[in-house]
Amino acid sequence: MIDVVIAGAGPNGLMLACELVLAGARPLVVEQLREPATEPKANGLVGQVVRLVDRRGLHAALAGTDEPPRPAPGFVFGALPLDLSRLDDHPLHLLPVPQRRLEQVLRSRAVELGIEVRWGVAVTGYTETADGVRVDLSPGSGAVEARFLVGAHGGHSTVRRLAGIGFPGVTNDDSVSRSVHAEVPAGWVHEPTGSLDVPGFGRVPGFRHLRTERGLVVFARLPGRPPALTTVEWPAADEPVPDGPLTLAEMAASLRRVLGADVPLTAPTGDGPFLLRRLVGQNSRIAERYRAGRVFLVGDAAHVHWGIGGPGLNLGLQDAVNLGWKLAAAVNGWAPAGLLDSYEVERMPASRRVVMSTQAQTALVTPDPRSPRCASGRPNCSPTRRTRGASPR
């Protein structure tokens, strides 16, 4: 019998699998994708999770240096800069690393630990037994017996649905976020600070959310990657969102609206894939439960929120570390009564704090006629909000 079946070979599923092996349990990871995803996603680790990966011996591979992690001198909350340089010590650490690289490092660690990952295999059902779970897999893949099942496969979690766990929250579809990797004109990047100097507007600081009366813009240069630009706009309710894939021309038009100035963009060169993504709306949802008998949820399967401030990987990876040793303790017979229930008791409040933080930052960056920066009363400063309410799934 397998100790734990994990649905999802993303960062959270792989981290959980590694934690289980380190604590003496045997996992099986199944992933419905036939091969690792290549599209760009998150751009780094923020918070205490940086020290966590350092304690697991992963920091050097991710950072490309043997230097230990140190607290960040500053960060941002919404569009408000936070000067942390006067603090001798604090828990906010930064590790700029693409999620694709993080997954590569975790897959390598999984290989070192002898973890089996089955690609192109999805969980389709399960039946709880007296001492375990019979997990049904994709047609042709049969079924496996395990002591526990964990859903670590994203916000549309099949495991969560099969367990009958509700996913209440709020979906706002009033914002449009656009993100690209693109080259900008030579000489526009202020090298000492990593900021972008835009003629006709001024300086767009690097790695910060800059709020204008027309929207939000972010400019960031990560090592070994072309510059990344993101805009967020709150268009009027009757303003259509383009169909089809995002183009650089559409992104340039969005930058023109947000900044009131042109930013010429050209396609990046070198090895891709490159970021070219449009997202409409935001989700803030937390699962009603993180456990249903022998079934558990981690990461986005348990909670989703806007990515402002980059808390997603911090939250999900800490879910995995919290749950890993507890499941191993139950498998090996030394878990005291109530240990498995403590996973939800400890991690759900963390999820609520993150959702509250991202909602507060959303309020800070959303154009509002009461803001001094929106004193002109332009239409985009008082958007018509479109909100879909709570949902049971």
Cα–Cα distance measured from residue 197 to residue 61, given in angstroms and rounded to the nearest whole number:
33
Residue 107, both tokens: 């897959």
C-alpha distances in Å from residue 11, one per residue of 14, 99, 101, 112, 244 = 5, 8, 10, 16, 29
C-alpha of 236 from chain center: 28
**Rounded-to-integer distance, Cα 84 and Cα 330, Å:** 41
**Global confidence as pTM:** 0.90
- The DSSP line for 117-177 is EEET--EEEEEE-SSSEEEEESTTS-EEEEEEEEE-S-TT-HHHHHTT----EEEEEEEEE
> What is the model's pLDDT at position 356?
94
Q: Per-residue confidence of the chain (393 residues) as pLDDT tens digits?
A: 999 999 999 999 999 999 999 999 999 999 999 999 888 788 889 999 999 999 999 999 999 999 999 999 999 898 888 999 999 889 899 998 888 999 999 999 999 999 999 999 999 999 999 899 999 999 989 999 999 999 999 999 999 999 999 999 998 888 999 999 999 998 999 888 889 999 999 999 998 889 998 899 999 987 778 899 999 999 887 788 888 999 999 999 999 999 999 999 999 988 878 989 999 988 899 999 999 999 999 999 999 998 888 888 899 999 999 999 999 999 999 999 999 999 999 999 999 999 999 999 988 888 765 554 443 334 334 333 444 554 444
